[in-house]
Amino acid sequence: MNAYAQHTPHRMQTAAKLLTMSVVVASLAGCSLFSSDKRKPAELGPNVALLGVKQVWSQRANKANPTLVMNVTGKAVTVGSADGSVFAMDAGSGAELWRANIGQKLSAGVGSDGQVAAVVTETGFLVALSQGKEVWRKRLPNRVYTAPLVAGQRIFVQSADRSVSAYDAASGNALWTQSKTGESLVLRQSGVLTSFQDTLVAGVSGRFVGIDPNSGAVRWEVPIASPRGTNDVERLVELVGGVSRVGSVLCTRAYQMAVGCIDANSAQQRWTVRADGINGIAGDEEVVAGADANGVVTVWNRENGSVVWTSNRLKYRKLSQPLVLGRSVIVGDETGTVHMLSKKDGSPLNRISTDSSGISVAPVLAGNTMVVQTNNGAVFGFQPD
């Protein structure tokens, strides 16, 4: 690793903090680009609340990290914590639906279809739950940092090396594995695993890959970014969660290289643009939004990828993946502040305080409630006034 860091320091030193050897996993969870950066975060100035929002409930989970993404199924939100606890709540009221403890630390967030929930432990077990009761657990061959996808009575798992496997949700029996040629480096970060109609969609080496969920056969591949450079770090290119889907159009980020969209119906690339970020993106019918590793927020036109606006207002504040909601682009920062920026021009609409532990898990929308989880495990529900 040290030899690689002598070249192209910005990209390679950043990558070194989030990378791990594909065989031996380094203990680097939670590292961020500026964990040792002394550059001063942008000053916020006074808050002028142009968009009313109120806290309607709060709950307590346990400590979180960026791979422990929240799952939304209807109006239910399921949260995983680093210590192995899993907690489901009603997004409208914050009422607890069920709670469980896996007994081992978690390496990835929760997947759920409303009936079965699935998590993966740091020791490599896939665990299936029903209403908080463990149904089965199965040892996996590889480490996992992407939340499982539960759909069609199956549980789909993407490993750190971006291979994809399917398991029967009721029994845990292995159904198939779509292997990927091993890379010397992999990201210790959530990848892309989602669905479109009857196709499983995964991110593999900078490409969206459509997979037959019944057999594991590849149906199509569409690139967002391609490897370049002279060594493993420079050539690393992976799609990172999350994905913004509207109709048949899926958009995502390629780690430190690009943001782009494809049409899954035609298996064609719509557009791709250079973008130096490490976290996932979000969007709606009009725009796609993302935060660069240095805290610069950019919004692109969803149709063609042209830049709608770029803002330095939150520079160096260590931002979460955004949420696009109504006329706002919403991000959390390392102080636990939730920032609401205008989707139209990036101007501030409001900001909300949670606790001071920081927000690294992407905020989510469930029903008409925005749900935010802090690094210390406080969970908040916010609604418009």
Q: Tens digits of per-residue pLDDT, 194-217?
A: 999 999 999 998 999 999 999 999
Mean pLDDT score of the chain, rounded to an integer?
88
Does the structure show a pLDDT above 80 at 18? no
What percentage of residues in the chain have a pLDDT greater than 70?
Answer: 87
pLDDT at 35: 44
pLDDT at 350: 97
Provide DSSP, 343-385. TTT--EEEEEE--SS---SPPEEETTEEEEE-TT-EEEEEEE-
Tell me: cis bond preceding 247? Omega within 30 of 0 counts. no
Does the structure show a pLDDT above 90 at 237? no
Phi, psi of 14 (to 5 degrees): -60, -50
Instruction: Say which range, 30-39, 45-54, 222-231, 370-379, has the weakest mean pLDDT.
Output: 30-39
Query: How far is it, in rounded angstroms, from Cα 241 to Cα 325?
Result: 18
Residues in Cβ contact with 372 at an 8 Å cutoff, skipping those fewer than 6 apart: 332, 338, 354, 359, 363, 379, 380, 382
Query: How far is it, in rounded angstroms, from Cα 67 to Cα 81?
Result: 10
Instruction: Say which range, 65-74, 126-135, 294-303, 336-345, has the weakest mean pLDDT.
Output: 65-74
pLDDT at 64: 87
Q: How far is residue 376 from each of residues 6, 62, 149, 358, measured CA to CA in Å?
A: 35, 6, 25, 8
pLDDT band at 357 (very low <50, low <70, confident <90, very high): very high
> Which residue's structure tokens are 């896996």?
102
pLDDT single digits (tens) 280-334: 999 999 999 999 989 999 999 999 999 999 999 999 999 999 999 999 999 999 9
pLDDT band at 12 (very low <50, low <70, confident <90, very high): very low
Phi, psi of 72 (to 5 degrees): -115, 125
∠ CA 346-337-317, nearest 5°, is: 70
Do strands 297-301 and 307-311 pair parallel, antiparallel, or not at all (unpaired)? antiparallel
Strand order in the sheet with 85-90: 71-73, 76-80, 85-90, 96-101
Does the structure show a pLDDT above 80 at 126? yes
> Which residue's structure tokens are 């496997």?
165
pLDDT single digits (tens) 148-207: 999 999 999 999 988 999 999 999 999 999 886 555 567 788 999 999 999 999 999 899
Which two structure tokens, joined as six digits, stand for 277? Answer: 């970020």
pTM over 0.75: yes
More confident residue, 186 or 218: 218
Query: How far is it, in rounded angstroms, from Cα 307 to Cα 300?
Result: 4
Does the structure show a pLDDT above 70 at 383? yes
Query: How far is it, in rounded angstroms, from Cα 155 to Cα 71?
Result: 14
pLDDT at 276: 87
∠ CA 74-145-147, nearest 5°, is: 15
Does the structure show a pLDDT above 60 at 128? yes
Does the structure show a pLDDT above 90 at 1? no
